[in-house]
Structure 1
Amino acid sequence: MNTLKQKLKNLDNESIDRIIEMAWEDRTPFEAIWQQFELTEQEVIRLMRKEMKSRSWKMWRKRVQGRKTKHKQLRAPDVNRFHCSRQKSISQNKIAKRNH
């Protein structure tokens, strides 16, 4: 089984930015991140903690904990898309990240 460190070596910066973007999106479930990047919820949490500034990570964790739309099994059956129809697309990921 690959560790997170090994998995991250296989991801380019654009993919890491996309994972962070998907994690911030309210309606994108962790299962969608798994399907696209093969990262579990716990791995996404560790990635977010590693890549984001402390304050941004705390804000994200508070926002995500208990959010039913982040888990496909807990969603209402009428939620069948990954993002809100009113959500603007995020380009050039501007989310506060650590400078490595």
Structure 2
Amino acid sequence: MDLAEIDSETIDRILEMAWEDRTTFEAIELQFGLTEPQTIALMRREMKLSSFRMWRERVTGRDTKHLKKREFISGRFRSQNQRGS
């Protein structure tokens, strides 16, 4: 998905999902077609610099943001707004 084509409501939802610690980048890609680097670029573009830096510091190396690094898979909460299985 091209970042320029995303409407403001979708941007808000992507930012919300990216900000959540337990929502993986893979879930964002599944629902919106944005890869991790595209999600990071969107966060950089849409957030204040200080907020972006705080978010990057928090999510860098965080296992819960990457599906393959998680210790848990089943029984996790899934928002009704989220697609996928």
Q: Which has the larger radius of gyration?
A: 1
Counterpart code for 2:42: L
Counterpart code for 2:66: H
Counterpart code for 2:24: P
Deviation of 1:8 after TM superposition, in Å, equals 2.2
1:28-43 alignment runs, 5 A limit:
28-43=23-38
SS in 2 for 1:18: helix
Gaps of 5+ in 2: 79-85
Provide Cα deviations, 1:42-62, integer angstroms capped at 9, x if missing partner.
Answer: 011111001100000000000
Distance across 2 between alignment mates of 1:18 and 1:31: 15
Structure 2 match to 1:44: 39
User: Structure 1 residues 82 and 48 mapped into 2: Cα distance closer, same or farther (>3 Å)?
Assistant: farther
Residue identity over aligned pairs, in percent, reads 58
* Contact 1:68–1:75 (Cα < 8 Å) also in 2: yes
User: Structure 1 residues 70 and 80 mapped into 2: Cα distance closer, same or farther (>3 Å)?
Assistant: farther
How big is the alpha-carbon RMSD for the aligned residues of Structure 1 and Structure 2? 1.7
Structure 1 match to 2:62: 67
Could you list the structure 1 runs, at least 4 aligned residues long, displaced by more than 3 angstroms after superposition.
Answer: none
Greater fraction of residues in helix: 2
Paired residues in the alignment total: 78
